[in-house]
Structure 1
């Protein structure tokens, strides 16, 4: 089933999201397990310190008891050396044990009684040693034979054993927890890695399928483009042939129309001569007796015939102008454009200079802002377009204020050049903005000579150059005609030197 662009994006985003969630879960689980392992390591160290402190505490207390017994039995002062060493170390060891016991609730509970018992035992042992050194061995032996010392030592041994056993149990539990954490870490890492791998494989498979689909689509498009280019060439050839036929037809029609028009104009001239002869005859018999027939002849010779000939002459001139316009358009359509590099500022200045005398008579001015140094186009077509727009700006100016014409040339994205001709003339009604570009159509008062082919001719030339022309105008305030042309037409960009 083909993958649409939307489903591809959705599935890819879902897979990425799933992969991110899986990766985040793996990372979070690993961080938690590592932190747990670190806390267990710290606890192991604490329990080991507690066990070591307890064992050392017990050993010192046993050393103390051993030295005391040896001295009492032998009265040998050498047994006092380990006794005194143990007695000196015990206070510091008790403090060490007391600090270590705070990490375990059982040890923390037993520690106060154990320390008190140990101190009592130490006092009992110190007393017997002091009595023996004072020569009171019998009294010291009596103290030893009593149950107080034995009870204290037994109670201390029980506490030591309980604390050490608790530490051993806790260490075993911690080892089990560490093993469980390591096992969980392994499963999370492997499971998460497999999940991420599965998501990655699924994503790569989706991308691969989509790319194969794109490649197949591209091949289809290339095949279609190849056939389309062929069809375009065929259609272009057919259109060109049809256009040539239309131009030949227009030329033939206008040529054939000119022949009867010339005849009409010739016969009109002969009629004018005949009318002049008739008028001379009427003038010579102006004093004769008036008769209805003679009065009708005078009226026809002096009014009716001259008026009718005037209408005929005016119509033939208009028809001659229209035929000439059609011939001009036909010849322009057959003219082969010659693209060349044009110095645009110089061309605009020359076009403005051609109408400068008319602008001066209208007390106006022309300003030029050419920000485009050059473009490649047919020079004659560009000159005719700009010249026609400037002529219209002068022809359709407002009589109540000085004429102002502004010419601007700028570039815009897409390799296009815009040449805008702005004036402060009559302006064009919005409803006529498109109509003024139609053949033989004009806008506003018809108080200026013309056949209505200027702007139609301008649009035809602009499109022949690969561009177009647009209009923005407000009635009574002026107009802006913008000619848009490619700076470097594709057909000639490679052949025109940069």
Structure 2
């Protein structure tokens, strides 16, 4: 269906709004997810730095304790240097540890506890080293054996270890959250891209369809312009043909109606002559009529008058039949067409069923093509057309030959559908192929009842439907009536009104 300007504008606006909403959704969701990822990453850095500072502090405390014990147990001055070095690093690392952990509220309490334990541990280390410097090695060793330093170190390991374990858990959670957010961001991007592609695709389809409709309309206008002269010529030919038919119709009507009138006038003269004979007998005024008058009066009463009256009645009956036929064609021409969908196959099957008994009497058959079309036309007119063709096929069948009737169809392109109605009857002479469609004209031996209006009526109906009918036939071989029928009568009506 062609897209209208209003539909095109409406579709374009809807697609633009949809595209803007999709784009805003993508941007907003992406910014939100990026913000979450940044938050996760910032938290991840803080926790990782806190854990790293905790691990470094514990490690340097271990180094200081190792140097202290080596120096006290061995008395070797070589162990004093690692101790002094670690001791200087503890102060720096403790400051870093407190800075990193105090940022996180959940670690603040533990960090203060670790600071207190570090101070106690440093004091314990310094006390033993001072004893050693004073040459009191035995007392320093006894101090170590009290396990006070080990207990402090174990407490430090527990406190710092809990911070590190919690930091490890939070780091894992942060990685999972970051990956989840990154995945959501990826899916948002993919879905948004699909949505935008869909919107762009829809817009492209609408634009292409609208462009195609415009091009088709332009081509149609160009075609109409190019064929305008041809259509004018065709209309002119139709008008000429219609005028010729009107003239022929007027000639035939006046000729055929004149014949009964001439007969009536002639036999009226006979009546008048017969009346004179009777008057001479009846109005003798008391005189005895002669024998000749009596014989003339008797012959007029018994022969001449009945014969003249019979011929007058026959002529008036024929004139009445001609007038009724003319009125019938005239009424059909004035009847308003009822345009509807008509299944030609079903309509022909109904017509064949109506004459099925007569066809069966000659062992005949009716073959109907499955490809008969469905058209938009006037059902009553088509019923009359096919009904008349079936009646003619039965009326003019060859005695002793099984009647064969076939109805086929093909698509004639711009000419519409072409339907062929074929029988194997006695046929029509070539010189009568056009004559049979004239009013009151019949072909061949006049041994069948009829007035010669059937095929004239059929052609009138077909032309009212925007089509036509012609005949192909050979004497003794059968007849094919070729019907041309437009697929949609409503378009023909509009074209005729334009």
The alignment's TM-score, normalised by the length of structure 1, stands at 0.44
